[in-house]
Amino acid sequence: MAEVEFGGMTFKGGRIIVLLTALSTLGGATWAGFEFYKDYMDMKEIILNIDVDAIDARNDVIETKLDEAIEYTRDIKSGLRDDILSVEKQSDRVEDMVRDSEEDVREMIDKAEERFENKRDALRSDTERRIDELEKRLEDKIQLVLDNPLS
């Protein structure tokens, strides 16, 4: 069986595999730590190279545009409010006109009904008068014939 001496200790058989596994784990952890440190240093360099003035200038531009957008939105809101009030006034005016027209039409209908009733009454009374005259003439003729059957 093979023996390996490491750090003052002697390893035989299956323990060699355990030693190799431990050494490879230790090497891998060291390599990973180095990579993390390298990434950290790269990130630190990126952070140190950030142009804060450019970011502040960009933020100022964005803030200015946002203020302009807010002002524009207020103008739109004010314009819409004025438009809505104008539409409400026109709607009220149209409602008043419709109400007045409705009253005028009702008055016209009432007057027309009154005229039709007057005409109907006049026609009825005229017809009744004519019938009465016709009856009277007929009665007179009948009476004349009855009084003088030979004529």
Bridge-based pairing of strands 3-6 and 9-12 is: antiparallel
The verdict on pTM exceeding 0.85 is no
Number of structural domains the chain divides into = 1
**Token couple for 97:** 């006109």
Does a structural domain hold residue 38?
A: yes
**Token couple for 60:** 């100022």
Instruction: Give the Å distances, CA to CA, from 75 to 56, 64, 71, 86, 124.
Output: 28, 17, 6, 16, 72
**Token couple for 77:** 């809101």
User: Does residue 52 or residue 37 have the better pLDDT?
Assistant: 37
Residues 6 or more apart whose Cβ sits within 8 Å of residue 16: 2, 4
**pLDDT, tens digit (0-9, with 9 covering 90-100), for 106-148:** 999 999 999 999 999 999 999 999 999 999 999 998 888 888 8
Q: Average of pLDDT values for 64-87?
A: 95
Say if residue 74's pLDDT is above 90.
yes
Does a structural domain hold residue 127?
A: no
User: How sure is the predictor about 151, in pLDDT bands with cuts at 50, 70 and 90?
Assistant: low
How far apart, in whole angstroms, are the C-alpha atoms of residue 136 and residue 138? 5
CB 17 within 8 A of CB 25: no
Q: Average of pLDDT values for 79-97?
A: 95
**Token couple for 75:** 């103008």
How far apart, in whole angstroms, are the C-alpha atoms of residue 110 and residue 128? 26
Does a structural domain hold residue 18?
A: yes
Provide the 3-class DSSP secondary structure of residue 11: strand
Say if residue 100's pLDDT is above 90.
yes
Instruction: Give the Å distances, CA to CA, from 71 to 9, 60, 77, 94.
Output: 81, 16, 10, 34
pLDDT at 85 (0 to 100): 95
Does a structural domain hold residue 121?
A: no
Does a structural domain hold residue 137?
A: no
Does a structural domain hold residue 7?
A: yes
**pLDDT, tens digit (0-9, with 9 covering 90-100), for 5-45:** 767 777 777 777 787 888 899 999 999 999 999 988 888 88
Q: Domain residues for 38?
A: 1-50
Does a structural domain hold residue 4?
A: yes
User: How sure is the predictor about 1, in pLDDT bands with cuts at 50, 70 and 90?
Assistant: low
